[in-house]
Amino acid sequence: MELNIFSENIYNDWQVDEKKFIDLAKNILKFYLAKNSVKEASCLNNFDYNTVSFDFLYCDSKKTHEINREYRNKDYPADIITFAIFADSDDKFIFDGEINLGEVIIALDKVVEEAEKKSVSPEYELAFLISHGILHLLGFDHQTMEDYNFVMALQKEALDAVLK
């Protein structure tokens, strides 16, 4: 399986090492899909494809506030917004063997704030949100406490494995 992950940083106060985090995202996705229970429960199950693609946009909370208002009818800034195009679509579109999972938008100023609150590095918090966004792109949600606990445990397992 080929992975095409693209990123763009429009936040000037943190020049994220985009290649490093793209490689991290690839490793996280591979980790998730190597677990049969995750792959079978994901939006990719029972589809034939040879390429998976998705995008990251790094911005600030002002931008996530605008996006939240415009596209989600929510009037607050978010640390992460995920548009799970493939998972949320009734018509699963595969073009030339490629599945576009969607886009993950991350407010880097919120990442720094949250890292300080949790006493972790901003890089670790960014990795945490990347792993979270990938799960959303795969169709996982956390509307119930059981789903939330599952997602959090899976993220911890993935980060423990890929951040060695």
Supply the mean pLDDT for the chain: 96
Domain count, the chain: 1
pTM beyond 0.85: the answer is yes
At 126, which amino acid appears?
Answer: L
Q: Report the distance separating Cα 148 and Cα 142, nearest Å.
A: 4
Phi, psi (degrees; rounded to nearest 5) at 30 = -60, -40
80 touches 130 (CB < 8 A): no
User: What's the CATH number where 17 sits?
Assistant: 3.40.390.30
Domain span including residue 86: 2-162
Q: Report the distance separating Cα 101 and Cα 144, nearest Å.
A: 23
Report the pLDDT value the prediction gives residue 31, as an integer from 0 to 100: 98
Give 14-48 pLDDT, tens digit per residue.
999 999 999 999 999 999 999 999 999 999 999 99
pLDDT, mean of residues 100-122: 98
Per-residue pLDDT band for 142 (boundaries 50, 70, 90) equals confident
